[in-house]
Chain A
Amino acid sequence: MPATDRTFAAAAAFWLFAWPAAALDPKEVAPGVYVIAGAVALASPENEGAIANIGFVVGRKAVAAIDPGGSATVGASLVEAVRSITDQPIRYVIYTHMHPDHVLGAAPVVAASGAEVVGHAKLASALAARAEHYLAGARDALGDEATDGLEVVLPDREVAAIATLDLGDRPLSLRAWPTAHTDNDLTVLDERTGTLFAGDLLFTEHLPVIDGSITGWLALEAELTSLPAARAVPGHGPATVDWPAAAAAQFGYLASLADSVRAQIAKGAGLAEAVEAVPPPAGNWALVETFHRRNVTAAFTELEWE
């Protein structure tokens, strides 16, 4: 389809011209597996929305990008990063979940490559409902200029349970999870190297954020941590961490949060009171100020139904 190709080429040229690739340095964490680590921070003009870990896997015939990142700048830089490594086409853009810091970079990647966008079966409705809100939030955080023309791209292909994408002698196992961090979490396992892109089902350094279900997240600990991976790429934190050892801190926080919130509910505290009363977590978590009280809120409104 030459017309479509031209459209992609023109759009790609626009994006790459408009957003010269920043210094996003892809790190090869396993053979053919690259990660660009995001800042453990809120989106700001300084980090240009590069606050989540994103990456790509190179097969014999194709490349899959796993999360295009939090802005068009990041998405364009991801295309540049892939181009600096291989000439293989980017055939897939896989979303680990709906959050803006992971998905808003899709448009320039799709424009440059025509890649198929893949996500959890519940992602489209969740992202569509939030799209306007996320775009407004990105404009507030990154500035009008940096977000001019920013758009949300919904998945072309949905995964309800499991799926395999073959990049040419390189199968990626995709798995859709029940409601945990969000109601549309999906993990990607590169079987060849045992590298697990955990998305935000795994937070390290950055305080975990509950936008789905605390009991759902705790309930999948055993199954998630039994996935046969040698290393994981967390949604936030270092480019790779030991698997499953690195998941312990996150599940420890969630379990202790659930305990504290249940204690508040049992003694009759209201939501506002519990938000003040549940102590911030021990340990060296970043962004506690921003997210802990929100987590208490989410946990309280879920656990008060028990």
Chain B
Amino acid sequence: MLRTHMAVAAGLLVATAGLAQAESDAWSDIVADVFDGRAMQQSDIVTLETPYRAEDAATVPVTMHFAPPEDAGLRVERVTLVIDENPAPIAAVFELGADAGVSRIDTRVRVQSYTNVHLVAELSDGSLHMTETFVKASGGCSAPMGKDPEAAMANLGLMKLRQFDGANPEAQLMIRHPNNSGLQMDQLTRHYIPAHFIHSLTIAQGDAPILKMEGGISLSEDPSVRFEFEPNGEPIAVEAQDTEGNVFSENWPIEVGRSGT
């Protein structure tokens, strides 16, 4: 419940003020608020790729890699993608399926201004591993809003799954959704346009979860999640829920990773 974390941030802010002058205020607040101030180590377990410049503020590609921990008994359970300077910094939290072998996730985010981007992985022993990048905002007519909200609404909930075979099988789940932020004033009515976004997404193969995502408004319009995984031969099942209570679900037969069967 990200919203709850936001609400308590004010209380924790005082406790952490001045603690990390070198880091941005936004990040130290987030560490305190979302991660209870727990220690994090910078490690090779997570790597993050973002463009140096947000060419299109509404659609900034992010690639997250997860390397297996040295201790074979451990695994990455959860990763949190944070865009420090966005109005809602927690872009997404991904829970990785225990047996799915997810080693990479690509998604797309909105970037409001010059910002650090952090990726935090939580291992099964509770330790936190972090990496960061910096993204320059684009200027001029590039804005972090969808290009054609009417078209996005017309196809609300339409899903597409693409599968990519190879040494590391991949799939990409796409959902038509405006993912409205709720932060934009409609200057005609003087009301805020209600937030309307995908907040929960589950991708499984048969009964085995591949990943579960809790998303926020920093994910781009028409959310896309592409992932490397180990197919088990079962169909891929997706269920997504948005903030208006809509549930979208669909199944696809698996088409990748069949070698040897």
- Tell me the A residues contacting B by CB distance below 8 Å: 42-43, 99-101, 122, 124-126, 128-134, 136-137, 140-141, 152, 154, 179, 182-183, 209, 211-213, 268, 270-272, 275, 290, 293-294, 297-298, 301, 304-305
* B86 nearest CB across to chain A (Å): 12
Q: A125-B188, A133-B145, A271-B106 are in contact. List 4 more A-B contacts (CB 8 A).
A: A100-B140, A124-B188, A129-B145, A270-B61
* A122 nearest CB across to chain B (Å): 7
- B184 on interface, CB distance cutoff 8 Å: yes
Quick check: B140 and A305 within 8 Å, CB to CB? no
- B207 on interface, CB distance cutoff 8 Å: no
* B56 nearest CB across to chain A (Å): 4
- B233 on interface, CB distance cutoff 8 Å: no
Complex alpha-carbon distance, A120 and B176, angstroms: 25
- B71 on interface, CB distance cutoff 8 Å: no
Partner of A128 from B59, B151, B170, B186 at Cβ < 8 Å: B186
Most chain A CB atoms below 10 A, which of B61, B112, B174, B226: B61
* A62 nearest CB across to chain B (Å): 26
Residues of B within 8 A of A304 (CB): 162, 174, 224
Quick check: A272 and B143 within 8 Å, CB to CB? no
Residues of A within 8 A of B38 (CB): none
- B44 on interface, CB distance cutoff 8 Å: no
- B214 on interface, CB distance cutoff 8 Å: no
- Tell me the B residues contacting A by CB distance below 8 Å: 49, 51, 55-57, 59, 61, 63, 106, 108, 112-113, 138-145, 147-151, 160, 162, 164, 170, 172, 174, 176, 184-188, 193, 220, 222, 224, 226
Quick check: B140 and A101 within 8 Å, CB to CB? yes
Quick check: A297 and B184 within 8 Å, CB to CB? no
Residues of B within 8 A of A209 (CB): 141
Partner of A272 from B106, B150, B162 at Cβ < 8 Å: B106
Quick check: A125 and B49 within 8 Å, CB to CB? no
Quick check: B49 and A212 within 8 Å, CB to CB? no
Quick check: A271 and B108 within 8 Å, CB to CB? yes
* B208 nearest CB across to chain A (Å): 24
Quick check: B63 and A270 within 8 Å, CB to CB? yes
Q: How many A-B residue pairs have CB under 8 A?
A: 112
Quick check: B148 and A128 within 8 Å, CB to CB? no
Residues of A within 8 A of B108 (CB): 271, 301
Residues of B within 8 A of A270 (CB): 61, 63, 106, 172, 226
Complex alpha-carbon distance, A80 and B63, angstroms: 51
Quick check: A137 and B188 within 8 Å, CB to CB? no
Q: When A125-B186, A125-B188, A154-B187 are in contact, do A213 and B145 touch as well, CB less than 8 Å?
A: no
* A211 nearest CB across to chain B (Å): 6
Partner of B148 from A99, A129, A179 at Cβ < 8 Å: A179
Residues of B within 8 A of A213 (CB): 147-148, 151
Complex alpha-carbon distance, A128 and B49, angstroms: 32
Residues of B within 8 A of A100 (CB): 140-141
Q: When A122-B150, A294-B56, A301-B222 are in contact, do A275 and B61 touch as well, CB less than 8 Å?
A: yes
Partner of B141 from A101, A122, A297, A305 at Cβ < 8 Å: A101
Residues of B within 8 A of A101 (CB): 140-141
Residues of A within 8 A of B162 (CB): 304
Quick check: B151 and A43 within 8 Å, CB to CB? no
* A182 nearest CB across to chain B (Å): 7
Q: When A179-B148, A213-B148, A301-B108 are in contact, do A154 and B188 touch as well, CB less than 8 Å?
A: yes
